[in-house]
Amino acid sequence: MSLLALAPMLAVLLTGTAALLVRGWPRLQRGVSVLGTLGYAGAVGSLCWQVVSGGAVVYQVGGWRAPFGITLVADALSAFMLALTAIVAVYAVVFSVRFIDDRNQRVYYHPMFQFLLLGATGALLTGDLFNLFVWFEVMLMASYVFVAFYGNAQHTAAAVRYVVLNIIGGVLMLLGIGGLYATTGTLNMADMARVLADPGGVTGAVVGLSALIFVTFALKAGLVPFQFWVPSAYRAAPLPVVAVFAGATKKVGIYAIIRLYFTVFGNADLSVAVPGADAGSSIGFLAPVLVLMGVASILVGGLGAVTRDSLDELFAYSSIGQIGFIAVPIGIAAASTGSLRHLGVLAALVFAFHHAVTKGLLFLSTGVIRDAVGTTRLSRLGGLADSSPAFASVMLVGGLSLVGIPPLAGFFGKLFVFDAASRRFAVAAAGTETTAGAAAILLVLVVGAVLTILYSTRAWMGAFWGGQTEAVVRGRIDPVEVALLSTFAAVVLASGVGFEPIVQFADAAADAALDTDGYVDLVLGGERS
Amino acid sequence: MADLFVLALAIALPFLAAVFAPLLYRLLGETVGYVGAVVAAVCFALLLTQVGAEGTVSTPWIPSMDVAFRFTVDAFGLLFALLASGIGILIFAYAREYMHGKPDLGRFYMALLAFMGSILGVALAADLVALFLFWELTSVCSFVLIGYYTDDAESRYSARMAMVITVGGGLCLLVGILLIAVGAESVGLAPFDLAAILANRGAVADAMRAQGVFLPALALVAVAAAAKSAQVPLYVWLPGAMVAPTPVSAFLHSATMVKVGVYALGRLRPLFHGPEWMALVATLGMVTMTVGALLAVLATDIKELLAYSTASHLGLMVAAFGFESHYGAEAGAFHLFNHALFKATLFLVAGIVAHEAGTRAIDDLGGLREDLPITAGITVLAALSMAGIPPFNGFYSKEILFEAAWEAAVHGGGLLWLYPATAVFASVFTVLYSLRFLWLFFGPRPDGLGPVHRAPLGLLAPPAVLAVAVAAVSVVPGVAIDLLVDDAASATAVSHVEIHAGIPTSLSGPVVMSAITIAVGVAAFPFYDRIRASLERVRAATTLVHPTVGYDALLSATDRASGLVGRSVHNGLIRTYVWWVLLSACVLTVAGYATATTGLPTPAVAETPVALVLVLAVAVVAAVAVTTADSHVTGVLTLGILGFMVAIFYILASGADLALTQLVVETLLLLIFLLVLEELPAYYGEIDLLRAARDGALSVAVGATAFVSVLYAAPDGAGAPTPTASFFTNNAIPEGGGANIVNVILTDFRAFDTLGESIVIVLAALSVLVLLTMRDRGETQ
């Protein structure tokens, strides 16, 4: 059973290697890549099933018992993030086969796609801090290549910015990991959580050291002020890969924040005095940081998206803003204890799920437009609804989900995030605290949501309504791509209408994220007794 | 008892029909309008079976959140639902004729049907989340329908504005709902169960007050209703929405969708009932009633006139529900009913006029009674009802509003006398513009007006049916009141309700108010043009009331900010990006140390050999020299010195493997650098002093942060090896079979890391191949 924890990584590793080996036969390579990704989805699916029905799975790589070797841990939190990664990955790879130029697909596109997934999957599954760094590197290395993939000046420039910022992030992460290893004496996350929870077992320095690592995660997630790379990288990379970037790899940064700061540091025996945070919270330091960064992301991303001409850049800015909607509830969770902490993490997870499928759909839809018209510039688009009403509906579903219209996936993301903020407000209003902070958070969320309406309507109307431009008249929308994406749109709709299993899964994931003792027992339990 | 199946069917049927509308349109052509009418008729009949029933039924939706499709049958919900489906029948029939020959009818009927389903959902929902679901869906359908003429820039502008304002208002409703849920949960109710919340409204309201969320929730609900029901200052989208085809205006933007906000206020009135509620809601309504009426007088287009008039009447209803007395509930519910009848009629009349006369400009129209005699008759009934002239039904409900305003003033005194005064003032203008609308038929015929055709039966029948309804309610108001309206008002009231409709027989304050209104209105009508001209001067002087000023300001402000974010924040310069990233990282890390530690650690200083000091000193000198190097080559070479010093440091610290690695890396880097530098220009440009100082300061900060981090992390030298270190030492040979612990770690204990790093190397190799292959290729062949 424990091998199940390894299965997703094994699936992508084998697929990636096989895709390298058969690169002389392009059709075969595509088949391998698509089937391998489906196999990956299957592996993730059975892992999720096992985790939900039978409990978390732990695999000690090489048979070295924790905390000395490297441990893979598939609990509900990891499984939840893997599930949304798998959904986006399947659509992205199938779409790639249709969308990416045949000749370009042969330039190691498929092997690198699999290695990108491998990095994300490894980061979601590992229970070891240094190993997390390794899979981050794999993920980043593959993404560097994708940003530079098309090889023109614009793509190269974007790649240089991306590489430089992420190398800084990597150095900071190494410094932080080294420091934590030196202070706690372990790299195993469960073991680290155990050491930290020990009364007097640790110095306050871990707060600063963990902040160093936090920078890397924030950089990966694209939170302001670490978002600079996002717009140009998203414009440069192939659109199916951008769907994975926005849908999955950004979420790895979010996952790492939740995993490390809640599961590992959440029970630490530290007294942190931060205004606005519950005194009992050892991660209270993170609360103002995440809230401020989230708020800034919402504003920068939302405002930035309003007038962007090209759809991919518009959605890139939108991603910055939407990640802010994920960071704010995590910040609220960090400031609170008890049920509100749980609600904050749950809200972040539900929103992350929504953003993965919704933004995945929107970036792939942008790909359809690029394929048909040859541009994603709104100034050169118009009247696409006349060419394909079906495609107009598909992208309308994406846009409305982004706005948060019920019963689409995005609505529940919005509902939970606003719920966390409202309850934070209620807590402040009922107590002696000032409500100004909580009210300001609510206000920014509302402003951010209004900005989302502004840019979503502009993007959709600009592309689909109005007179047809010459480029649109000449273009032809690929019905196969539209058919594929209409099933994706159906996923966005179905995950809202049938939200019950998703909220249960997310709830289990939030439980797992906050259950430090359970996590420690899971990983070390057998060995300690 | 309410029947879940019937209710669910009535709501689901229009949605189902909407899904098939494009297909049906392909099969049946324009006849699909009649299919819509049949669907509406079936819904109407289904709902009729529920008249007299009471109660809540539900089916679970998201059990873990306690969200369900709960539906309540009561007179207020039924009144609204019957109005929507009943008027829906006529609208669909009218649209069949009116939309003849128009494009995209599949989409049109799809949206119209989905809208009808949504509005029935709003009317019957007894779950806050379900209510929000249908509320938002009405906004989306409205967006699609306003933007029906997609090629027209004004349509697109108006559709987007309606979407931004109504869905933006929806956000306030969402937060309001969530705050109500907080209150409900704390008294042990299911958080979103509206029926239970209303049944325990006292306890919920108290709990909300205790938690300090009562007033915020009240204000948010009011803002949401104001956005949806076109209250000042959010009414601006409603006149814009008139670009939609007339059946849409009649259905959505007068009779039903815009009443959703009013409906929600009526629903939640018992929960929020109190002085704060009146202060906010009644005032909001009164202001809108006045502003709307003034703007209606200013209108130059018949649909525009009706749109502002709608805003004004919505204000009347909002104000009514705002008043604390039972008159408020009565006026709100009754006027909701009356307004739907006469205003839908007038919109359909406006459609006929535009269709047959070819223009909607008020000044170009007149004397239409000759050409459109039946339409003229219909208009007389509806317009007099709108004006509030006895014995028409619009008079009855407005009279009750006057009573509510009078009652509030008598009860509260002082400033509250502004309520009746404003009501009369606004109503005078209502009389004025109503008469002006009537004058389209009875005034002189302008010379420029071309031939006007008789309206076909398909266009005439629906408003005629509505006019008959207006007449029936006017003559025998008791029937409708006894059947539904009285009970509907009770649902929105906290005290006993009994609606009296009829011609007043004794003199009282409200009767005097009515008399003044009508007398002044009729007397002033001959001076209509002069009044309009002076109002026009006021409007020109106060741009604030110009409908779209606020919205346009919002757009241009966000546009400006957006440009700024694009240009200034993301200026494309790596230097800027790195600067902010490093600064933020330092601030975060130092803040982390500051919150959780006291003072810097003092590591146990071991004896430092002279050689080590020398090596590090050379490294420092090299580091400084790099910054002052005058060419790339010198810089790289100096950097090399720094690297080699670090390697020597490793040797001195007994890290032979590390030193070896460092030496290889340094040598390679030096070579690669030198090769690349061949391709670069020889010198940097000069940098200005300020930037150099800023960058220098940041460099020092980064160095200090790293230094402090190392200080914190440095082992104090006193402790025993960690369990991990001991494990590696003890097991390297017996379990790993190697004497070099580092090697055993890399290849065995932590071989998984090595696997990952090997993949990184593979990827690096691939990246070289990709960059070389793709460098002159680009995106497409």
For A:410-449, CB contacts with B below 8 A are: 411, 414-415, 418-419, 422-423, 425-426, 429-430, 435, 439, 442, 446, 449
pLDDT in tens, A82-130: 999 999 999 999 999 999 999 899 989 999 999 999 999 999 999 999 9
pLDDT at B768 (0 to 100): 93
Structural domains counted in chain A: 1
To the nearest whole Å, the CA of A212 is away from the closest chain B CA by 6
pLDDT tier at A264 (50, 70, 90 boundaries)? very high
A406, B566: Cβ pair inside 8 Å? no
3-state secondary structure of A188: strand
What is the span of the domain harbouring residue B460?
273-531
Rg of the Cα atoms in chain B: 37
**Does residue B349 fall inside a structural domain?**
yes
b/e per residue A441-476 (b: at least 16 CB within 10 A)? bbebbbbbbbbbbbbbbbbbbbbbbbebbeebeebe
pLDDT at A528 over 50: no
What is the span of the domain harbouring residue A257?
2-519
User: Are both B512 and B461 inside the same structural domain?
Assistant: yes
**Does residue A467 fall inside a structural domain?**
yes
**Does residue A191 fall inside a structural domain?**
yes
pLDDT in tens, A33-63: 999 999 999 999 999 999 999 999 999 998 9
User: Are both B60 and B142 inside the same structural domain?
Assistant: yes
B107 backbone dihedrals φ, ψ, rounded to 5°: -65, -40
HEC letters along B675-712? HHHCCCCCCCCCCCHHHHHHHHHHHHHHHHHHHHHHHH
pLDDT in tens, A69-86: 999 999 999 999 999 999
pLDDT at A201 (0 to 100): 66
Structural domains counted in chain B: 2
- Interface test with chain B among A110, A115, A124, A207, by most B beta carbons within 10 Å: A207
- pLDDT top residue among B540 and A220: A220
pLDDT at A526 over 60: no
Q: And the tokens for B624?
A: 């400084």
Query: Final residue of a domain: which of B482, B499, B531?
Result: B531
Task: Select from A112, A294, A128, A152 the least CA-distant residue to A218.
Answer: A294
User: Are both B254 and B369 inside the same structural domain?
Assistant: no
**Does residue A304 fall inside a structural domain?**
yes
User: Are both B259 and B279 inside the same structural domain?
Assistant: no
- Cβ burial, residue B621 (10 Å; 0-12/13-18/19+): middle
Q: And the tokens for B765?
A: 């190799």
**Does residue A193 fall inside a structural domain?**
yes
User: Are both B332 and B475 inside the same structural domain?
Assistant: yes
User: Are both B449 and B372 inside the same structural domain?
Assistant: yes
pLDDT at A271 over 90: no
User: Are both B254 and B340 inside the same structural domain?
Assistant: no
- Cβ burial, residue A385 (10 Å; 0-12/13-18/19+): buried
Query: Final residue of a domain: which of B509, B531, B553?
Result: B531
pLDDT at A283 (0 to 100): 83
The rounded percent of chain A whose pLDDT value lies above 70 is 97
- Cβ burial, residue B558 (10 Å; 0-12/13-18/19+): buried
pLDDT at B18 (0 to 100): 96
Report in angstroms the alpha-carbon separations of B503 from A303, B395, B468, B474, B533: 57, 9, 20, 10, 35
To the nearest whole Å, the CA of B323 is away from the closest chain A CA by 28
User: Are both B264 and B280 inside the same structural domain?
Assistant: no
A205, B171: Cβ pair inside 8 Å? no
For A:372-411, CB contacts with B below 8 A are: 374, 383, 385, 389, 400, 403, 405-407, 411
Complex-level ipTM: 0.95
Task: Select from B372, B392, B398 the least CA-distant residue to B464.
Answer: B372
Q: Which residue(s) pair with A70 in the sheet? A: A61
**Does residue A61 fall inside a structural domain?**
yes
Of how many residues is chain A composed?
529
**Does residue A380 fall inside a structural domain?**
yes
Place of tokens 């049109």: B108
Show the low-confidence residues of chain B (pLDDT under 70): 1, 543-547, 603-606, 683-685, 715-719, 778-781
pLDDT at B201 (0 to 100): 94
Q: Does B777 touch chain A (CB under 8 A)?
A: yes
To the nearest whole Å, the CA of A459 is away from the closest chain B CA by 11
**Does residue A528 fall inside a structural domain?**
no
Task: Select from A343, A328, A488 the least CA-distant residue to A408.
Answer: A488
Q: And the tokens for B135?
A: 């509320």
**Does residue A11 fall inside a structural domain?**
yes
User: Are both B245 and B349 inside the same structural domain?
Assistant: no
Residues in chain B with CB shorter than 8 Å from the CB of A135 are 756
For B:153-182, CB contacts with A below 8 A are: 153, 156, 159-160, 163-164, 167-168, 171-172, 174-175, 178-179, 181-182
Query: Going by C-beta distance under 8 Å and a sequence separation of 6 or more, which residues neighbour residue B753?
Result: A70, A130, A131, A134, B746
